[in-house]
Amino acid sequence: MTMLKGNLMFGQSGGPTSVINASAAGVFIEALKHADVIEKVYGAANGIVGILNEKFYDIGEEDPAELELLKYTPSSSLGSCRYKLANADVDDTDYKRILEVFKKYNIRYFFYNGGNDSMDTCNKISKFMQKSGYDCRVMGVPKTIDNDLFGTDHCPGFSSAAKYIATTTMEVYQDARVYDTGMICVIEVMGRHAGWLTAATRLASEKGAGPDLIYLPEVPFDLDQMLADVKAIYAKTGKVIIAVSEGVQTKDGKFIPELVATDDVAVDSFGHKQLGGTATVLADYLKKETGSKVRGIELSLMQRCASHCASKSDYEESFLAGQTAVLKAIEGLTDYMVGFERADSSEYACQIKLIPLNDVANTEKKVPLEWINKEGNFVNEEYVKYALPLIIGETEQPKEDGLPRFAHLKKVLVNKK
Amino acid sequence: MTMLKGNLMFGQSGGPTSVINASAAGVFIEALKHADVIEKVYGAANGIVGILNEKFYDIGEEDPAELELLKYTPSSSLGSCRYKLANADVDDTDYKRILEVFKKYNIRYFFYNGGNDSMDTCNKISKFMQKSGYDCRVMGVPKTIDNDLFGTDHCPGFSSAAKYIATTTMEVYQDARVYDTGMICVIEVMGRHAGWLTAATRLASEKGAGPDLIYLPEVPFDLDQMLADVKAIYAKTGKVIIAVSEGVQTKDGKFIPELVATDDVAVDSFGHKQLGGTATVLADYLKKETGSKVRGIELSLMQRCASHCASKSDYEESFLAGQTAVLKAIEGLTDYMVGFERADSSEYACQIKLIPLNDVANTEKKVPLEWINKEGNFVNEEYVKYALPLIIGETEQPKEDGLPRFAHLKKVLVNKK
């Protein structure tokens, strides 16, 4: 083990989750124990943007009890960003600036917490530091409700979102069938390219209170076929629940809002189309086509921040991922993302696995096509076997007056050098 | 005490809540203990509609353990309706039919569970039975997330919805401010005429994670003023969270979707305008006017069915309301709604109070104007004192595989005579 003394920089990036701060807690609480190696622990304000702007917090100033509460506090407490680094071969301005900041503040440990785009950022920084001969141990800490990171059994953040989605679907199922009239309900779930989250509604079906139809982005979407599917079930029972991913596309690459609406779809800074309105648009369409009562429900931000309904294993594993990044980096490892491998046991258990950042960056893991029925409108038992163990166990989130007690950080800014 | 032997009919009506079935559990479990007086316990399928159609379930056939689980099962397990009875003086067809059914099945106890419209129905039936000289003890069991029933400190269903709304607002607050860009978030809450639920977002502000602006239907809504309010806060902090009731109206009686959209607003069978889309419409408007990123969030059905986030006192009191209806009716009382009176103690406690159905029917209780600030865009400490004690205490909902274990009723239909 080569001892590398210096400071640590941790940043959060991309869309937040219910448990992203549990990873921050893991990094911070573990790092603060190793003052002999890691002298200062910094948290970047708004991820890479905070580094570029030399805006970061001194975590050593925080109350340890509040850092513990980060485990149960949803969303990115340090602030997040969606900043995309250029290819260093084309434009290395940002990289040089990051190197300059790292040198100025003696950053020798850099951990970045995020999904696909963030692991790409992390990988690019790691490679640039290596190329520059600057000794900095870089680790990716995974986070994404989308569950689409390569090489890991699942991603921190997914299990809690899945638990919230399955729970809420069960509740909506009860509600959507109380009247003696027909009812169609469209539940829109997040997920641009991967259907892991939308498929979580299937867990509600396992309990007899889930959707009749599930449409994932892994399968080309056909509006006419969906209408036929809905009409067939409606004719039998008068009640239809549809779970649909915001990201489903026709074989010509059109999203639902583009199919039935005329507005242009906005694009974010990563070039991703800003979707939304799928439930509303589809509900309006089904109302017109069937004459039935239809309700569109968008699970919106709630599905990624409902920490009151977090999965126990999820915040424990998120914490562990952060903690492991620190321990492995101190041991001398670099250029990896922390991942999970599921034990081959009847009881659910996962162990840590390290995946080279190169393998992770920008590779998307999708729901296996064998887990989707051949009609492309439901998910089979294989998905249940995979996902159900992840949502078992309730949160121990502390409450105050019946409401969650979130961490209150002081966020003491480090003086610019 | 005059002993009245016969059968019991219980019906659920109006929009369901997270704890409406807890009242059903209270009625059923208590009634089944009094077989000497109450020979058969029936549950009407879809409220009054089930009575008119002679469609009801024999609750004695249910597994007692499943009846216990009703406490934690959201939505109306028997099915609900929004059927409006005519004025008996104008058209007594339905009343005669109900009397006929009651006589045929020897119904001597009739309990109706619902909100304002349902208490009106209950009152009308009670008066018709009296006028007809048919001895039937009628009790209203309150239920409404809207909290707008007259004569009771609060309504079963409200506390759980308030807890979910406050919790979710706190979580959304965390999520809506993670990026280093401006963000406006509009949270749409249910409530046609009373702002009790929308005001529950104020509880999140009490914890430092709530809305900046709260618009209730008690105060005339002014779109220009709201825009000015939003711009003023946005200019200071770059982040604005707005809680708005679906029912806010301008002084000319226009709802938000009517203000900024051209579509006609649908009307339900009670003549209530079918609102919705307020968050979307307002978000689009604010996006256009401010150029900022804006997200509209509709809490939709979740706010009334999120039993996983129910308030402990709420399901306990809902159960108690049902139980009390049985006990008081056996004692000989009739023509009342069961309500609650808050004890004048530092620790929260409520005791039962009986309110004549005549007083309750169609009287709406609104948020006192003194609890709303003079700008009409926030709620003061008085509301917090009122509502915060109601949401303390967590649900003991049993879980199975990390998901709620709802009651499974057999729903054995009673043979038509």
pLDDT for the residue A269: 52
Q: Do B392 and A401 touch (CB under 8 A)?
A: yes
Chain B residues in contact with A404 (beta carbon < 8 A): 167, 170-171
Q: Quickly state the pLDDT bin for A271 (edges 50, 70, 90).
A: low
Pick the CATH number of A6-156+307-362+394-404 from 3.30.70.1060, 3.40.50.450, 3.40.50.2300, 3.30.1360.100: 3.40.50.450
Identify from A70, A284, A308 which residue to disrupt to test chain B contact, counting B C-beta atoms within 10 A and taking the largest count: A308
Q: How far apart are CA A138 and CA B123, in angstroms?
A: 71
For residue range B40-81, what is the model confidence (pLDDT) as tens digits? 999 999 999 999 999 999 999 999 999 999 999 999 999 999
Pair of tokens at residue B413: 């239909």
Say if residue B29's pLDDT is above 80.
yes
Partners of residue B176 in chain A, C-beta under 8 Å: 301
- List for chain B the helix, strand, coil content (%; round to 5): 40, 20, 40
Residue B247 has phi, psi (to 5 degrees) of: -100, 5
Among candidates A46, A179, A306 on the partner chain, residue whose Cβ is nearest the Cβ of B180: A46
Please name every residue paired with B183 in a beta bridge, in sequence order, or none if there are none. B239
DSSP A379: B
pLDDT digits (tens, 9 = 90+) for B238-259: 999 999 999 999 999 998 888 7
Question: What is the pLDDT at residue B268?
Answer: 46
Confidence of residue A1 (pLDDT cuts 50, 70, 90): low
Residue A258 has pLDDT above 90, yes or no: no
pLDDT at position B280 = 87
A302 membership: H or E segment, kind and range: helix A302-305
- CB within 8 Å: B302 and A304: no
Strand ranges (E), B2-129: 6-12, 38-44, 56-58, 107-114
Place of tokens 């999120």: B306
Which spans in B133-181 are helix H? 158-175
Q: Check residue B297 and give its pLDDT.
A: 96
Cα B279 vs. chain centroid, distance in angstroms? 21
Question: Residue B102: which region, alpha, beta or left (left: phi > 0; alpha: psi -120 to 50)?
Answer: alpha
Nearest CA in chain B to A200: B403
CA distance A59 to chain B (A): 18
pTM of the model: 0.96
- Please tell me which residue in A117, A120, A146, A229 is annotated as part of the active site: A146
d(CA A347, CA A331): 31
| The pLDDT value given to residue B200 | 98
Q: What percent of chain B has pLDDT over 90?
A: 89
How would residue A125 be classed by pLDDT, with cut points 50, 70 and 90? very high
**Domain locations along chain B:** 6-156+307-363+392-404, 160-304
Contacts of B402 in chain A (CB under 8 A): 163, 311, 388, 391-394
* Residues in chain B closer than 8 A to A403 (CB atoms): 163, 166-167, 170, 203-204, 207, 391
pLDDT at B261 over 80: no
Q: What is the arithmetic mean of pLDDT over A5-23? A: 97
Question: What is the per-residue pLDDT across A30-51, written as a single tens digit (0 to 9) for each?
Answer: 999 999 999 999 999 999 999 9
Over the stretch A136-185, which tens digit does the pLDDT of each residue have? 999 999 999 999 999 999 999 999 999 999 999 999 999 999 998 999 99
> What's the one-letter identity of residue B316?
E
Q: Return the minimum-mean-pLDDT range out of A274-283, A371-380, B138-147, B408-417.
A: A274-283
* A194-204: pLDDT as tens digits: 999 999 999 99
Rounded to whole angstroms, the Cα distance separating B231 from B225 reads 10
Whether A334 has a pLDDT exceeding 80, the answer reads yes
CB atoms within 10 A of CB A193: 17
Cα separation, B221 vs A299, in Å, equals: 27
Q: What is residue A274's predicted lDDT score, i.e. its pLDDT? A: 47
C-alpha span between A390 and A51 (Å, rounded): 34
H or E segment to which residue B315 belongs? helix B312-331
What is A159-304's CATH number?
3.40.50.460
Contact A148, A245 (CB under 8 A): no
pLDDT band at B265 (very low <50, low <70, confident <90, very high): very low
Beta-bridge partners for B295: B185
Output B343 or B1, whichever has higher pLDDT: B343
| B6-156+307-363+392-404: CATH topology | Rossmann fold (3.40.50)
User: Going by C-beta distance under 8 Å and a sequence separation of 6 or more, which residues neighbour residue B113?
Assistant: B10, B11, B12, B13, B20, B23, B24, B27, B140, B141, B142, B143, B322
DSSP letter (8 states) at residue A61:
G
Place of tokens 């029972």: A237
Please give the mean pLDDT across all residues of chain A.
94
Q: Residue A380: is its pLDDT beyond 80? A: yes
Neighbours of B229 (CB within 10 A): 20
Contact A399 B394 (CB under 8 A): yes
Mark yes or no for CB contact B178/A75 under 8 Å. yes
- Least trusted range by pLDDT, from A66-70, A337-341, B331-335, B360-364: B360-364
Q: Which of A348-357, B155-164, B270-279, B320-329 has the lowest mean pLDDT?
A: B270-279
Contact A111, A8 (CB under 8 A): yes
Closest listed residue to residue B244, CA positions, set B280, B207, B289: B280
Tell me the C-alpha distance between A38 and A41, whole Å. 7
Instruction: Please answer yes or no on whether A174 and B74 come within 8 Å at the CB atom.
Output: yes
Exposure on the CB side of residue A167, measured as CA atoms within 13 A:
33
Within 10 angstroms of residue B90's Cβ, the number of other Cβ atoms is 6
Binned at pLDDT 50, 70 and 90, residue A261 comes out as low
> Residue A4: which pLDDT band, with cuts at 50, 70 and 90?
very high
Whether B164 has a pLDDT exceeding 90, the answer reads: yes
Task: Select from B208, B172, B202 the least CA-distant residue to B187.
Answer: B172
SS percent in chain A: helix, strand, coil, step 5: 40, 20, 40
Q: Between A172, A305, A392, which is nearest B172 by CB?
A: A305
Q: Could you read off the pLDDT of A233-244 as tens digits, one per residue?
A: 999 999 999 999
What is the nearest CA distance from B21 to chain A, expressed in angstroms? 11
Give me the pLDDT at residue B2, please: 76
Of A75, A170, A302, the CB nearest to B404: A170
Q: What is the mean pLDDT of chain B?
A: 94
* CATH classification for the domain delimited by B160-304, as one of 3.30.465.10, 1.20.1270.10, 3.40.50.460, 3.40.50.720: 3.40.50.460
Q: Is the pLDDT of residue B32 over 50?
A: yes
Please say if the pLDDT value at position B306 is more than 80.
yes
Yes or no, beta carbons of A49 and B178 under 8 Å apart: no
Binary contact (A301, B203; C-beta < 8 A): no
**Three-state DSSP state, A354:** strand
B16: chain A residues, CB-CB within 8 Å: 174-175, 178
Q: Between chain A and chain B, how many beta carbons pairs sit less than 8 Å apart?
A: 175
Q: Mean pLDDT throughout B79-84?
A: 92
Same fold, B6-156+307-363+392-404 and B160-304: yes
Query: Is it the case that residue B264 has pLDDT exceeding 70?
Result: no
Residues 6+ apart with CB under 8 A from B92: B86, B128
Choose, from B92, B117, B120, B146, the residue flagged as catalytic. B146
> How far does A331 lie from chain B, in Å, by closest CA?
32
Mean pLDDT score, A116-128: 95
Residues A79 and A11: their CA atoms lie apart, in Å, by: 9
| Closest residue by Cα to residue B358 from B155, B27, B95, B130 | B130
Given this model, what pLDDT does residue B19 score?
Answer: 97
Please confirm, yes or no, whether B146 is among the known catalytic residues: yes
Cβ–Cβ below 8 Å for A306 and B166: no
- The ipTM is 0.95
Q: What are phi and psi of A21, to 5 degrees?
A: -70, -15
Q: Say if residue B263's pLDDT is above 80.
A: no
